[in-house]
A and B are shown apart, each in its own frame.
Chain A
Amino acid sequence: MKKLLSILKHLFTPHKSNRHRSKLIHHDMLTSYLLFAIILTFGVYHVQQTNGSILGFATDISNAKLLDLTNKERAKSNLPELKYNLKLEEAAMKKAQNMFAQNYWSHYGPNGETPWQFVLQSGYQYEYAGENLAKNFLFSDGVVAAWMNSPTHRENILRKEYTDVGFAVLNGVLNGEETTLVVQMFAKPLYGSISGSPTQSSNTNNINKENESGEAVLNTKNANENKNNFYSVFVNINVIFFIILICALILDFYLASKLNLIHLKGKNIIHIIFLATLSAAIYFIIKGTIV
C-alpha cells in the first residue's frame, strides 16, 4: 500500500523523486504518449488495409443493434415492435449503393430516384413506407438518438402503421470522403399481399436471416459485432487518458503554486482547458449527421 502511494505520488504530484514535476507530464512521458499514439494510428490503418473485415471504417453500427434500439423506442410509446424484413434490408442496401454510385446524400436521387422505387424493386408491395438516413456515426445508439431528436425521423420510428423494418450499413466514398451510410426502411405490406415476408421477430440479440424457404443462411450479428468493441474501448481509453493527464496537470499546478516551485514549463491551465475541450469534442466527433 505504501509502495502504491509512493508510485502515485511520483506520477501525479511534484516531488523530489520526479524533480518537482509530476512524472506523467515529464517530456519523456509525453514523448512516449506520442509514440504510442503514432503506433496505434498506423497500426489501425495497417490492420484495415490488410484485413478490412476486422475493423473496417463502418465502426460500431450493426443491424441487430439498430433494430433493438428502434424497437425499444417504440416500446416506450406502447407501439408494437417492428419485424425485421429481408426485402426491406435489400431495398435499404440498394438505396445505399445508389447513393454511393450517384454521389448524393438525400432521400431523392439526382435522376429522380425515390426511396419507394427501391422498396418496390425488392419485391415488397407496400401500403405505407418510410425512410431514415444517417451518415458517419460511430455507434448505433448515436444513430437512433439522432433520429429520435429529429421530429420527422422520430415520426417515422414511432408511426403505428409500420410493421416491418430493414437496415443497411454500408461503407463507400461519397464526395471524395470515406463514408458510412445507414439506411432504415420502414413499411407495411399491402393488405393481402404476401410480399412482406420473409420477416424476423425482433428478438435480435441474434437475428438469423432466412431466405424465402425459411432456411437460416446468415447471422446478422455478423462481423460488425466483433468490430464494435474496438471503437467503444478506444473512446473510453481516450477519455480516461485525457482525465488522467488533466488530474496530473491540476495536481502539479496546485502543489507547484502552493510550494512556490518555479519551473520553466508550459502553462498547466492552458493544457487543462485544451484537454477538457478535446474531451468535450469527442462527444461531437462520434456523432454523424442525418437527413
Chain B
Amino acid sequence: MLKEIKKEFKKNLFDYLLFLTACIVFIIALTIFQGERTIEFAIVAAFIAFYISWGIYHHIIDNTLRLKVVLEYVLIGFTTLFLLKILIIP
C-alpha cells in the first residue's frame, strides 16, 4: 500500500502538497480563533469548500472529471459540514 501511496504522491506532488498545506493552515487557523464560534464555522466551511474545489481541480487536470466524482466530494464535504456545525454552534 505504501508503494501505491508513494506512486500517487509522486504523480500528483503539487496537488497533494497544496492540500496538505491547506490542512495545516486550517488547523493553525482553528487554534488561533479558538472559542470564536462564528469564525470557527467560517474556517471549517472554507476548508470544506477548498476540499470540494481541490477535487474538481484535480480531476480536471487528471481528465477524470465526471458528475459522479464531483458528487462524491460534495456529499462527504456537506455531511461533515452539518455534523461539525452542531459542535461549533450548538
Contacts and interface: CB of A to CB of B under 8 A. Distances in A.
Given A57-B90, A280-B27, A31 B75 contact: yes
A41 B75 CA distance: 16
Nearest to B44: A281
B31 A265 contact: no
Nearest to A251: B1
Given A27-B71, A136-B37, A277 B79 contact: no
Interface residues of A, number: 56
A254 B76 contact: no
Interface stretch (A73-81, A92-100, A157-165, A268-276): A268-276
A73 B30 CA distance: 28
Interface residues of B, number: 47
Contacts of B78: 34, 37
Given A265-B69, A270-B51, A34 B75 contact: yes
A41 B84 CA distance: 9
B43 to A, nearest CB: 9
Contacts of B68: 27, 264-265
Given A57-B90, A288-B35, A289-B36, A281 B84 contact: yes
A33 B37 CA distance: 24
B69 A285 contact: no
Interface stretch (A109-117, A122-130, A233-241): A233-241
Interface in A133-153: 135-138
Given A34-B78, A277-B23, A285 B90 contact: no
A41 B51 contact: no
A275 B26 contact: no
Interface in B6-33: 8-9, 16, 19-20, 23, 26-27, 30-31
A30 B23 CA distance: 22
Given A136-B37, A266-B69, A270-B19, A278 B80 contact: yes
Interface string B58-76: 1100001010110111011
B88 interface: yes
A137 B72 CA distance: 33
Interface string A11-34: 000000000000001010011011
A87 interface: no
A284 B23 CA distance: 14
Given A38-B82, A178-B89, A282-B87, A270 B37 contact: no
Nearest to A37: B82
A270 B16 CA distance: 8
Interface of B: 1, 4-5, 8-9, 16, 19-20, 23, 26-27, 30-31, 34-38, 40, 44, 47, 51, 54-55, 58-59, 64, 66, 68-69, 71-73, 75-76, 78-80, 82-90
7 contacts: A27-B75, A40-B83, A44-B90, A178-B89, A265-B68, A266-B76, A281-B44
Interface of A: 25, 27, 30-31, 33-34, 37-38, 40-41, 44, 48, 55, 57, 59, 135-138, 176-179, 231, 234-235, 238, 241-242, 245, 250, 253-254, 257-258, 264-267, 269-271, 273-275, 277-278, 280-282, 284-289
